[in-house]
Amino acid sequence: MPELYADPEAMNPLLPSQQDLELSEKSAEILRQAGILFGRLAPITGEVIAEVLRLTNCYYSNLIEGHATNPADIAKAMERDFSQDLKKRNLQLEAKAHLEVQKKMEQKLGNEPDLNVFSKEFLCWVHLEFYKKLPTEFRHVRNPETGKEYIVIPGEIRKDEVTVGHHHAPRADSLDTFLARFSAGYSSARISASRRIVAIAASHHRLAWIHPFLDGNGRVIRLFTHALTIKNRISGHGLWTISRGLARTKDRYYELLNLADRVRENDFDGRGNLSERYLYEFCSYFLDQMIDQMKFMHGLIRPGRLESQMEFYVRSRNLFGKNNGPAVRLLKEAVTQGEFARGKASEITGKAESTARLILSQLLADGLLASESEKGKVRLALPPKILDTYFPGLFPQTPVTSN
């Protein structure tokens, strides 16, 4: 084992030092795209779609880890409908843990606006919440170099040395100082608003470089990055996810992560221990993926697009026969208004009250609309069976590992 890093200054630079026009323009575009997403939908409709995007984030985060879990199986897991196949069941449990932790994390951020997501305490909390929900088999890891086996303790910083590819992570007994430097450096008030967007990308790599946990680092880092988009008010209320972009360019993602591990190459490569050039390349790539995923979701939820896809779904399957049109009008009402009273069904459809009630009941029975109670208001529902039609391209027909 080579001599390992023990001084947190070895992590420098924390940000590319160049005041580069390209990164500035990409940061500005991200802020602009986030503003377009913000407020585009009725709040309740946005919440329903955000729930689907949590599933999307989970699906692609699993895919990055090499775990291909069908979106329908993830949805079943949330209803505690697990496969009899042990391997598939364990993947469902993993997905369920991710979804529950993400939702709990979002609630925590809402309740604690001053929370420092760069802190060791927050990172350990995410790891704890995730790992304590996993099957026992997922807590066993093996060092590929030594063959030694370990049991991952939820929320515990690693106490052993690790190597990731060609990168020898910092010494285990120095991790507290590295994480303190990580927190202080990236939460500094001296980082401008536009540079904080770049810091989302840079901190994503530097946390991977520290590798604070024996296992689960990738999952924690992606959840941490999602938390940063919320803190920086660019999450669009959960209406986009970086994990989709990273999974679709997985080979390039890992290539640039690995390149950014390299030490400074020469006097023109920054002034820190690590390569500024490759950190810059990683940040540029990462911001590109953010922009791409924001634009992708804009296309899916732009005014009229979702409604037209819903109409195509109903009419192409002839779900309600001569009442296809009135059924579509109820679905469109749910999208545009967020929710509506059951008593308005006749007015919305233009049908007699008894007919309107029947159509509404069918939509509820098919899972296309939902309600909290038998007499409560009705809102949009997005079961897995409609996702490919309502949101074409959101999930691949077959697992994607690279473009």
- CATH number for the domain running over 305-390: 1.10.10.10
- Paired strand residues for 163: 168
pLDDT tens sequence for the chain (403 residues): 467 899 999 999 999 986 678 999 999 999 999 988 877 789 999 999 999 999 999 999 999 999 888 888 999 999 999 999 999 999 999 999 999 999 999 999 999 999 999 999 999 999 999 999 998 888 888 877 677 888 899 999 999 999 888 899 999 999 999 999 999 999 998 998 889 999 999 999 999 999 999 999 999 999 999 999 999 999 998 999 999 999 999 999 999 999 999 999 988 888 899 999 999 999 999 999 999 999 999 999 988 999 999 999 999 999 999 999 999 999 999 999 999 999 999 999 999 999 999 999 999 999 999 999 999 999 999 999 999 999 999 998 544 433 3
**Structure tokens that stand for 209 in this block:** 């470089």
CB neighbourhood size of 10 (10 A): 17
Report the C-alpha gap between 107 and 150 in whole angstroms: 32
Q: Dihedrals φ, ψ of 141, to 5°?
A: -130, 155
Does the predicted TM-score (pTM) go above 0.85?
Answer: yes
b/e per residue 306-329 (b: at least 16 CB within 10 A): bbebbbebbeeeebbeebbebbbb
373 contact partners, CB below 8 Å, separation of at least 6: none
Listed residue (264, 307, 367, 379) closest to 10, CA to CA: 264
pLDDT tens for each residue of 25-80: 999 999 999 988 877 789 999 999 999 999 999 999 999 999 888 888 999 999 99
**Structure tokens that stand for 246 in this block:** 């990273």
Listed residue (65, 70, 155, 59) closest to 98, CA to CA: 59
The boundaries of every CATH 1.10.10.10 domain in the chain are: 305-390
- CATH number for the domain running over 8-301: 1.10.3290.10
The sign of the dihedral angle between the CA atoms of 308, 313, 318, 323 is negative
The boundaries of every CATH 1.10.3290.10 domain in the chain are: 8-301
Are 243 and 222 in contact by the 8 Å Cβ rule? The answer is yes
